[in-house]
Amino acid sequence: MADKDPLVVFTPSGKRGRFPAGTPVLSAARQLGVDLDSVCGGRGICSKCQVTPAYGDFSKHGVTVAPDALSEWNAVEQRYQDKRGLKPGRRLGCQASVQRDVVIDVPPESQVHRQVVRKAASARVIEMDPATRLFYVEVDEPDMHEPTGDLERVARALRQQWDIPRVEAEFALLGQLQKVLRKGAWKITVALHKPHADAVPRLVAAWPGLHEGGLFGLAIDLGSTTIAAHLTDLDTGQVVASAGVMNPQIRFGEDLMSRVSYAMMNPGGDVEMTRVVREAIDTLTVEIAAEAGIDPALILEAVFVCNPVMHHLLLGIDPVELGQAPFALATSGALALSAVEMGLAALPGSAQVYILPCIAGHVGADAAAVALSEEPGKSEDLVLVVDVGTNAEILLGDRSRVLACSSPTGPAFEGAQISSGQRAAPGAIEAIRIDPETKEPRFRVIGCEKWSNEDGFREETAQSGITGICGSGIIEAVAEMRIAGLLDPSGLIGSAEQTGTGRCVADGRTHQYVIHDGTDSGGPRITVTQGDIRAIQLAKSALYAGARLLMDERGVDTVDRVVLAGAFGAHISPLHAMVLGMIPDVPLDRVTSAGNAAGTGARIALCNVAARREIERVVREITKVETAIEPRFQEHFVAANAIPHATDPFPELSKVVDLPKVAFGAGGDGGRDGGRRRRRRA
């Protein structure tokens, strides 16, 4: 580079340098370390290298760009323009060469490490740096006088054309490679998987010619009750389809310990549970690919997050050790293996699977994924992250230290074991309000924006019907019943006389509250029973006790803020979570929702290989707290059974809502107060 050579300034990176006239823009970018994509290696066929030159005066950069700063539009660009069209002002970076001083913008689509903004409330962005990338190569034909294998000639082409010194091949791919080479007339695109900077890349897929069908990955949150998957474009980072299925292992036991017991009591039970969960993942893979309209053969990566029992059963490891102290995992480290080794049939055999590390015997890769997504270890203030599911993952920490535990809440929060409970699907009640004066409910169902007392609700829900209550609906229903004075602090539902509403009807020796009776039109009668309240009390007590145990360990009685996460965490209303006593008392505006944090953690690990190393490091520094053997857990559990709580004060909650002082048990006051007290709602 000489002083008189043209100056090239790239935006948005601001990287600059002088290059001899005639240097292709792509080469200048490479030499400066500018993030400009290329799959075809500058042959003018992939269009990944598009740039936008800027003309005129740029005092900020000290550059004036003349109209002839780049070489003239060439035949390759014209051919691409005719076939596919380029956006106005765009050039192909591998074709346009530098002639004079120039400012060149690299648009986000042309950056390999582009940032993907999450839709969730948190502003965290995911930087694209996937482990699998595409490379187009032109391979030498075989020559009898110089005998070499096809794979060796592909490796030579990668060395010569892409400076990749060494590659290994996934065995499952070898059989296809010869056909692909011949079909492509020795011009092929290969997918190389490189899980970390020092790894030897693995050849995991090959296509004849230039492959333009994209690459995809699955981020899978394998929960005890549901399996949720996000199909993600590994180029753009966008989720192209999301789907979920129930975990078929439920038939062997609703919660984790009953599945471990099933494996203990039934020879071969673990093998059976492994088989059904892998089949469910295969079905989910096929369905999600169909929904996105892509070939499952293009899904070359999968990242799993799961609790330790799901982790072992997925891998075909007997979980028996996880059912008894000291809860030893077969391995707590992160795992990288192929789809063939994992026994997943719907993915290409060479697809690469990554499983996040587990934190401890009861604190799994799902908790690690929450830590990756919510980063409590980077928080300035003390944050409690609660991932609500059949097993709750709970993290407490700030920059100084992070603690984690897992608490067996059971499936009630997901609408299971609830008399009118159902999965979150159209027709399910997801939000409910009960008027404290009249005790009349109004509600919203999934699939309709209107409340049940609004015009048009009946018509808009005619298709789906009103079918049951989902997880967020049951949390709101129980909390609203407490606010409206239909439920006393011990969790007893009052009678019609005690509460003053005919919606509280006798149900054997207890009572139930009727939310909606659709029996006239052949629909269900949707109620909250005393049994439902007990199931929710058990679940929320376990959650609270887990959080409280971490607070004890940390030596605090309060936290600065709470993040509610979980598959339906984004739908839980902070006010109702606090009335129920799911979480410790904090100012209401300090409770936020993070959506499915475990699933987001899986997506981050899928899109960014450095994040995998990061979480492997972070997990080693997290303090694990074991709830199962901690006597204080039981004490906290019992005190947390009351709604909101028997002993812990709730001053912040009291600022926004006055909870009626009712008691419906023996010696109760019969609901004198009846919920008619003043109430302020946030």
Summarize as ranges the residues that interact with ligand FES (CB under 6 A): 26, 38, 40, 42-49, 92-94
Burial of 462 (0-12, 13-18, 19+ CB in 10 A): exposed
Strand partners, 360: 363
Which amino acid type is present at position 516? H
Q: In which order are the strands placed within the sheet that holds 428-434?
A: 441-445, 428-434, 468-469
The minimum distance between CB 47 and ligand FES, in angstroms, equals: 5
Q: In which order are the strands placed within the sheet that holds 561-566?
A: 591-595, 561-566, 383-388, 392-398, 401-407, 623-624
State which residue, 77 or 170, has the beta carbon closest to ligand FES. Answer: 77
Residue 14 CA to residue 32 CA, distance in Å, equals 10
The minimum distance between CB 24 and ligand FES, in angstroms, equals: 9
State the Rg of the chain over Cα.
29
State which residue, 90 or 311, has the beta carbon closest to ligand FES. Answer: 90
Residue 629 CA to residue 631 CA, distance in Å, equals 6
The minimum distance between CB 36 and ligand FES, in angstroms, equals: 8
3-state secondary structure 593-624: EEECHHHHHHHHHHHEHHHHHHHHHHHHHCEE
State which residue, 26 or 155, has the beta carbon closest to ligand FES. Answer: 26
Per-residue CA distances from 560 to 571, 581, 590 (Å): 21, 16, 7
State which residue, 40 or 155, has the beta carbon closest to ligand FES. Answer: 40
State which residue, 33 or 333, has the beta carbon closest to ligand FES. Answer: 33
Residue of 294, 304, 305 lying closest to 348 (CA atoms):
294
The minimum distance between CB 114 and ligand FES, in angstroms, equals: 16
State which residue, 42 or 569, has the beta carbon closest to ligand FES. Answer: 42
Task: Provide the strand spans (E) within 223-334.
Answer: 226-233, 239-246, 299-306
Counts for the chain of helices (H) and strands (E), in that order: 18, 31
Omega before 436 within 30 of 0, i.e. cis: no
The minimum distance between CB 56 and ligand FES, in angstroms, equals: 25
The minimum distance between CB 109 and ligand FES, in angstroms, equals: 13
State which residue, 42 or 473, has the beta carbon closest to ligand FES. Answer: 42
State which residue, 40 or 220, has the beta carbon closest to ligand FES. Answer: 40
State which residue, 84 or 145, has the beta carbon closest to ligand FES. Answer: 84
SS3 call for 520: helix
Record the tokens describing residue 166, joined without a space: 């060494």
State which residue, 47 or 608, has the beta carbon closest to ligand FES. Answer: 47
The minimum distance between CB 40 and ligand FES, in angstroms, equals: 4
Torsion of CA 315, 317, 321, 327, to 10 degrees: -20
Record the tokens describing residue 672, joined without a space: 């004198």
State which residue, 40 or 662, has the beta carbon closest to ligand FES. Answer: 40
Inter-residue contact 46 to 110 (CB < 8 Å)? no
Residue 319 CA to residue 332 CA, distance in Å, equals 13
The minimum distance between CB 14 and ligand FES, in angstroms, equals: 23
The minimum distance between CB 593 and ligand FES, in angstroms, equals: 42
Strand pairing of 226-233 and 239-246?
Answer: antiparallel
State which residue, 75 or 144, has the beta carbon closest to ligand FES. Answer: 75
- For 219, the enclosing helix (H) or strand (E) is strand 216-222
The minimum distance between CB 86 and ligand FES, in angstroms, equals: 11
Ramachandran angles phi, psi of 605, nearest 5°: -65, -30
Task: Provide the strand spans (E) within 85-154.
Answer: 91-92, 102-105, 115-117, 125-127, 132-138
Whose tokens are 């020559």? That residue is: 143
The minimum distance between CB 25 and ligand FES, in angstroms, equals: 9
Ramachandran angles phi, psi of 371, nearest 5°: -65, -35
The minimum distance between CB 76 and ligand FES, in angstroms, equals: 8
The minimum distance between CB 44 and ligand FES, in angstroms, equals: 5
The minimum distance between CB 215 and ligand FES, in angstroms, equals: 16
State which residue, 42 or 674, has the beta carbon closest to ligand FES. Answer: 42
State which residue, 76 or 240, has the beta carbon closest to ligand FES. Answer: 76
Query: CB under 8 Å to 521, separation ≥6 — which residues?
Result: none
Strand pairing of 56-58 and 383-388?
Answer: unpaired
Q: What angle separates helix 269-292 from helix 308-315, to the nearest 10 degrees?
A: 90
Strand pairing of 115-117 and 102-105?
Answer: unpaired
Whose tokens are 């990944």? That residue is: 48
